[in-house]
Structure 1
Amino acid sequence: MTRRLFHIFLLLVGAVALGCSRTSPDPLRTGMPPWLGFAPLYLGQELGHLPEAAVRSIEFESTSAQMRAFRNGLIDAATLTLDEVLQLVDQGLTPRIVAVADFSRGADAIVARPELRELGDLRGRRVAVEGTATGALMLLRALEKAGLRPEDVDTVPIEVQEGERFLADGRVDAVVTYEPIRTRLLAAGSRELMNSSELQDDITDVIVVRADQIEARAEQVDRMLDAWFRGLAFLNEHPDEAARIVQRRCKLDPARTLAGLQGVHFPDEGESRRLLSGERPALRARAEALARWMHRNGLLQRSVDLSSLLAPGPIERRFP
């Protein structure tokens, strides 16, 4: 083979390799914690709209574990509460919100032993709470409502899946939790002292992607959003069948799964786009107000710059 032919051969091999790399990128790794509000993504996966070659969903037992994975670069995308996203920004990371997943309107709660009847009864009690911003936010809001201070309760840090066991064996008197654990605790006889319907949408769940992956993985981000909204459409059109699918993940019977989902509001594509887009996006204003409150209460170390937090491009492509 002459040198010229050899060079042509190398160019052809390189072109083939480059073409393969463009058509077969590594899958986008996205986290999936055990929150009932992320049912649309789970449904999208179960219904075959989330091919693993494009998007690989990784299940976590708690939101804390998912946040650690995002911080450590083990996942590219995540489903998080808005306050948790603000904490990541505070820590120097660059999550970008590509869609609003849901608003918790009763699905997050403080659940206690049955002898505790109101929030004021938490004084001097042991309250289990996950080490995330959401847990702290929920507890602080409850204490404010009851006229209590943080030092009036004894907080016990846990991973959220430990709450049922800690409450059952008497190690704590109350637990800050969310669906589907909330429904399981209430079915076992615990009492709800407060839920997120009283928080004016403070607990907002969003889908985030690392800033450097938004354009680099544009097609995969689009596939993830497509799976989410297809799953949401299935949930709205076939709630009973959807509940039977989701129950395998949330460990509730279908009736209780449907009841738990009543505490969650899922924006459709149009609402999600409106929240992220425009000259003054509503979600940006919500995030700024929440960031100020979190900073005042020690949940953020500094005033965070949120000018680049929203990335409406992917959802604007879907819903122009």
Structure 2
Amino acid sequence: MTRRAALGLIAAAALPGLLGGCASAGNAAETPGPAAALRLGYFDNVTHAPALVGLDQGLIADALGNTILQTQVLGAGPAAVEALSAGAIDAAYLGPNPAVNSFVQSAGQSLRIVAGAAGGGAALVVRAGITDPSDLAGATIATPQLGNTQDVALRSWLATEGFETSTTGGGDVDIVPTENAQTLALFQNGAIDGAWLPEPWVSRLVLEADATVLVDEASLWPDGTFPTTVLVVRSDYLAAHPDTVRGLVAGHAASVDWLTRHPDEAARVINRKLTADTGKPLPDAVLARALTTVTFTTDPYAAAFPVLLLDAVDAGTAKPGTLDGLFDLTPLNAVLAEAGGAPVSAAGLGTE
């Protein structure tokens, strides 16, 4: 049994004792009623395809009605949390670990997860000559940012393999948080030995830099199911503008539905949005490979979050705390019910 599988059983058994009282989400600074604007952050990653498709197809803007949609491309989860905390954006697609860290650090005041977006699509890729975990002794491995979801996953996995790491560098394996595009260049130049990344960067290193997959993160989770991207909203924005957030969630759900119903068109639409944002499309082979590893879903896989918190605490990137109130899936389940869909569970970590 993998460490995460074991932790999942422990977390499920300990859940009632782990959780405390429900946190308040209100802030009098917001004006009640529909919002004039919603500022949404996302990444140009395949794991953020619901954002890419929702923006390209106008699904999110249409669902928001008269609320003006403003968008911002971000680089990694901790950067998105900083923008949320500073009030620079109102909602964001981001990885689960930065969401958890923000929630715990703010004593439940900062944000709410209102939907899942993607699962899967993350792996450790390495250079030629590394074929076994023992070969990583003394290696240098990149992650997108300290404390982001892939960074925590790498540190947690290395610990199960008997390696010590440090959040300040060094250790048995040196982990260097690095922007994804730079990681590709560093790997091609032989400056790093591998990287734990989300898609499409896994596929880019495999197809453009001859990397091989040493660990598919799906192998570490029961049934291969784990959250990679969620949709979060600032707590005060949610409290002041619940109808606007419901519109955002409706547009997001429509994007996930579009991806499910149009698999043959997904690559073209995703690439069109990536080109609009970055000026350069992904190679067809890279995008095709990446899409085979990612599942798009509105389910945030809430039961995994106590495991993610334990991993982050053990890795030294988060503090212990309660996750009670992390999820508000009420708007999502209302949208799903209207469409005749089944409700999504908050696993006892919030409202649904």
Q: TM-score, normalised by structure 2?
A: 0.74
Q: Which residue of 2 aligns with 1:260?
A: 290
Percentage identity across paired residues of the two chains: 26
1:100 aligns with 2:124: no
Cα deviation per residue 1:237-276 (whole Å; 9 max; x = unaligned)? 22222211112318323453233122122225xxx3xx6x
1:305 aligns with 2:313: no
Q: Which residue of 1 aligns with 2:85?
A: 71
Cα deviation per residue 1:175-207 (whole Å; 9 max; x = unaligned)? 221111111110021122112112214544211
1:209 aligns with 2:226: no
**What is the identity, as a one-letter code, of the residue corresponding to 2:326?**
L
1:192 aligns with 2:213: yes
Q: Which residue of 2 aligns with 1:58?
A: 72
Gaps of 5+ in 2: 1-30, 166-170, 276-280, 338-352
Work out the CA distance in 1 between the residues paired with 2:334 and 2:227: 27
CA separation of 1:86/1:64 partners in 2, compared to 1, >3 Å: closer, same or farther? Answer: closer
Q: Which residue of 2 aligns with 1:18?
A: none
Q: Which residue of 1 aligns with 2:177?
A: 157
Cα deviation per residue 1:31-77 (whole Å; 9 max; x = unaligned)? 11122122122111111223284322211233343232123221111
1:126 aligns with 2:150: no
Deviation at 1:222, TM superposition (A): 2.2
**What is the identity, as a one-letter code, of the residue corresponding to 1:112?**
V
Asked whether the equivalents of residues 55 and 224 of structure 1 are also in contact (C-alpha less than 8 Å), the reply is: no
Work out the CA distance in 1 between the residues paired with 2:262 and 2:110: 37
CA separation of 1:292/1:181 partners in 2, compared to 1, >3 Å: closer, same or farther? Answer: closer
Q: Which residue of 1 aligns with 2:312?
A: 294
Asked whether the equivalents of residues 103 and 111 of structure 2 are also in contact (C-alpha less than 8 Å), the reply is: yes
**What is the identity, as a one-letter code, of the residue corresponding to 2:38?**
L
**What is the identity, as a one-letter code, of the residue corresponding to 1:176?**
W
Deviation at 1:24, TM superposition (A): 7.6
| Aligned-partner SS, 1:149 | coil
| Aligned-partner SS, 2:150 | helix
Q: Which residue of 1 aligns with 2:334?
A: 317
CA separation of 1:146/1:296 partners in 2, compared to 1, >3 Å: closer, same or farther? Answer: closer
2:48 to 16, 24, 38: 38
| Aligned-partner SS, 1:177 | strand
RMSD (CA atoms) = 2.4
Work out the CA distance in 1 between the residues paired with 2:207 and 2:191: 19
Q: Which residue of 2 aligns with 1:89?
A: 103
Q: Which residue of 1 aligns with 2:152?
A: 137
CA separation of 1:63/1:133 partners in 2, compared to 1, >3 Å: closer, same or farther? Answer: closer
Work out the CA distance in 1 between the residues paired with 2:327 and 2:35: 25
**What is the identity, as a one-letter code, of the residue corresponding to 2:329?**
P
Q: Which residue of 2 aligns with 1:112?
A: 126
| Aligned-partner SS, 1:39 | helix
Deviation at 1:227, TM superposition (A): 2.0
Cα deviation per residue 1:90-143 (whole Å; 9 max; x = unaligned)? 321521011111221xx1111122232222211111112222331332212331
Asked whether the equivalents of residues 131 and 159 of structure 1 are also in contact (C-alpha less than 8 Å), the reply is: no
Cα deviation per residue 1:265-303 (whole Å; 9 max; x = unaligned)? 2225xxx3xx6xxxxxx71x43223323322332222x2
1:178 to 173, 179, 198: 198
Deviation at 1:210, TM superposition (A): 0.9
Work out the CA distance in 1 between the residues paired with 2:149 and 2:292: 20
Work out the CA distance in 1 between the residues paired with 2:211 and 2:76: 21
Q: Which protein is bigger by CA-based radius of gyration?
A: 1
Deviation at 1:305, TM superposition (A): 2.2
Work out the CA distance in 2 between the residues paired with 1:159 and 1:64: 12
Asked whether the equivalents of residues 116 and 227 of structure 2 are also in contact (C-alpha less than 8 Å), the reply is: no
